[in-house]
Amino acid sequence: MGLTYFKRFRMEIDLRGRDFSDSRPPRGYRFLSWDRTLVEAHAEVKYLSFRSEIDANVFPCLGDYSGCLRLMYEISRKPGFLQQSTWLLATDKRSGSRTGLDGLGANRMNILPVGSSILPIGSAEPEYVGTIQGIMDSNRFGAVQNLGIVPEQRGLGLGSCLMLKALEGFQLAGLSRAMLEVTSRNDGAIRLYRRLGFSKIRTVYKVVEVAYS
């Protein structure tokens, strides 16, 4: 076993005087507010969003559906969990690949629990394509936990509208600042956060234990 260090940036935004009320998603998409019955849907979107990204190396639970489900339960049980900053993004538009699950092979549904909220192609139910969660930390900062958009739905501005919706929730909770951490190699996410008004405050390092072959 050995240790690997991942450089990450802490970024913050001042919420005072900002108007996040016009955080409507594009036509054909809609926000779903937090409900415990949607915890599996959040976990599925989180898994599909992060399983092939650098963050799955930094946080191995993101590369595994059961890990994502466990993480969602942990986040939702935190004392500072904010329902008003936790959102699922859904659409009735079909991506053609059921958010990438088809790429897992003929037995793809075996990775998901009975009663999973991801449904077969042609279902009248919505397709879940984005997730974000927020908590209030011990310093009364809004803390973004994970912002994820499934690969087939990227480039449509969905990440921006989800983040704005979460920031509006922090404001409604009476918080004046919000923060997040992002891996330094995630250039696309860093550009998004800067465009929305986040600034880099400090650099931190995440230590990950890895097995050497």
Residue-wise pLDDT for 131-173, tens only, equals: 999 999 999 999 999 999 999 999 999 999 999 999 999 999 9
114-122: average pLDDT: 39
Residue among 33, 35, 47 at smallest CA distance from 113: 47
Kindly report, residue by residue over 164-205, the tens digit of the pLDDT: 999 999 999 999 999 999 999 999 999 999 999 999 999 999
Q: Are 182 and 199 in contact (CB under 8 A)?
A: no
93-100: average pLDDT: 50
Q: Give the burial string for 124-143 (b: 16+ CB within 10 Å, else e).
A: eebbbbbbbbbbbeeeebbb
For CA atoms 187, 188, 193, 194, the dihedral sign is positive
Q: Rounded CA gap, 32 and 91, in Å?
A: 10
Provide, for the chain, the percentages of residues in helix, strand and coil under a 3-state DSSP scheme, each rounded to the nearest 5. 35, 30, 35
Q: What is the model's pLDDT at position 195?
A: 96
Q: How many of the other CB atoms lie within 10 Å of CB of 144?
A: 24
Mean pLDDT for all residues in the chain: 86
Q: What is the model's pLDDT at position 2?
A: 74
Q: Rounded CA gap, 55 and 39, in Å?
A: 20
pLDDT band at 211 (very low <50, low <70, confident <90, very high): low
Q: What is the model's pLDDT at position 1?
A: 64
Return the SS3 of 56: helix
Kindly report, residue by residue over 8-36, the tens digit of the pLDDT: 999 999 999 999 988 889 999 999 999 99
97-124: average pLDDT: 39
